[in-house]
A and B are shown apart, each in its own frame.
Chain A
Amino acid sequence: MTDVAVAPAPEETGEGAVKTKKVVIVCYSGELEKTWATMILASTAAAMDMQMTVFVTFWGLQSFVKDSKRITGQNWMQKMMSFMQRPGISHRKLSKMNFMGMGPWMMFKLAKQYNVSKPKELLEMSAELGVTFVPCQMTMDMFGLKQSDLIDGMGDPVGAATALDLMTNADSTLFI
C-alpha cells in the first residue's frame, strides 16, 4: 500500500481538546461533478467536527434551488435561463460527456453500483451534520430567486464582504 500523506496532528488547546478547524467552500460551479466534490468535502468536514461553511454563488446557487421548482425568476430572461438549465441538485449536468443526460444517467448508475451517495443525499447528510450553506444575495437578485425557491435550512443571504470575512478567518478555503 502506498503511503498517503495525512494532515498533521491538530493543535492541542488544552486538556485533550482539539482546536476546531474552519473550512470554507465557495460553491461557484453548477456542474454535476463539481457539485459532487463540494458535497463530499462538506459532509466529511462536518463529520470531522470541522466548522464548515459553504458560500453558494453564481451557477452553484442553481443546485440549491428546490428540485421541485421548474421555472424560476421574475422576468423572461431569468425564466428562460431556468428553462434552459433546470435548477435543483438532482438536475445537474456534466461538464464533459453530458450527451443529453446520458452521461449523468451512467454516473448515477455507477454510483449506485459502487455505493457512492448522490449529491442530494450528501447534501441532506451535510445539513444534518451542521454544515452552514450561505446564499449570495447578488446571485439571488440577478437570477430572480426568492428565499422560498431555495432548499430549507439555508442561511440568510450575504454579499462578497461576508464571504471574504469567512475566507480570511478560515483555516482553508476552496473555490469549486
Chain B
Amino acid sequence: MDIKLKVDATGLSCPLPIVRTTQAMKTVGAGDLVEVVATDPGSVKDFEAWSKSTGNSIVEQGVVDGKFRFVLRHK
C-alpha cells in the first residue's frame, strides 16, 4: 500500500486529530492515501462522521499497539 503521508495525532484531543488530518489532506492529491495514528478514543466515531461529510473514504481502520490507525483516501 502506497501511503503518501503519515499524520501523527497521538496524544491530541478533540478536535485536533480531525483538524490535523484535514490540513494534511490539503497537501496531497486525489486518490492519495494518508495514514493517521491517534490515541483519542472518540476519533473512531469522529473519522466515520468526517468521512461521510467530506467524501474522503476510510480504507483501513484498526487498533495497532493500543493506538487507533486509519488509512484514508483523498476523494
How many chain A residues touch B (CB < 8 A): the figure is 26
Asked if residues B55 and A18 are in contact (CB atoms below 8 Å), the reply is yes
Main secondary structure of the interface of B (DSSP, over half): helix
B16 at the interface (CB under 8 A from A): yes
Residues of B whose CB lies within 8 Å of any CB of A are 11-16, 18-19, 21-23, 41, 45, 48-50, 52-55, 75
| A16-B75, A115-B11 known; A44-B55 Cβ under 8 A | no
Q: Which one of A4-12, A88-96, A148-156 is at the B interface? A: A4-12
1/0 per residue A151-166: CB within 8 Å of B? 0000000000000000
CB <8 Å contact, B13 and A48: no
> CB distance B55 to A50 under 8 Å?
no
A10-B52, A21-B53, A50-B53 provided; 13 other pairs, C-beta below 8 A? Answer: A4-B45, A6-B52, A18-B52, A47-B18, A47-B23, A47-B50, A48-B50, A114-B13, A116-B13, A116-B14, A117-B13, A122-B15, A125-B23
Q: Does A40 contact B (CB under 8 A)?
A: yes
Q: Does A17 contact B (CB under 8 A)?
A: yes
Chain B residues with CB below 8 A from A46, complex form: 22
User: Which 8 A-B residue pairs are closest in the complex by CB-CB distance?
Assistant: A47-B22, A18-B55, A48-B53, A44-B15, A49-B54, A116-B13, A47-B19, A47-B18
Whether the pair B13, A115 counts as a contact (CB closer than 8 A) is yes
A1 to B41, CA, bound (A): 10
Chain B: CB-nearest residue to A4: B45
CB of A124 to closest CB in B, whole Å:
11
Question: Could you jot down 5 A-B contacts, CB within 8 Å?
Answer: A40-B15, A44-B15, A47-B21, A50-B53, A129-B23
A43 proximal to B (CB < 8 A): yes
> Per a CB cutoff under 8 Å, which of B11, B12, B18, B23 touches A48?
B18
- Chain A nearest CB from B10 CB (Å) reads 9
CB of B18 within 8 A of CB of A6, answer no
Flag if A6 contacts B45 (CB, 8 Å).
yes
B residues less than 8 Å from A40 (CB atoms): 14-15
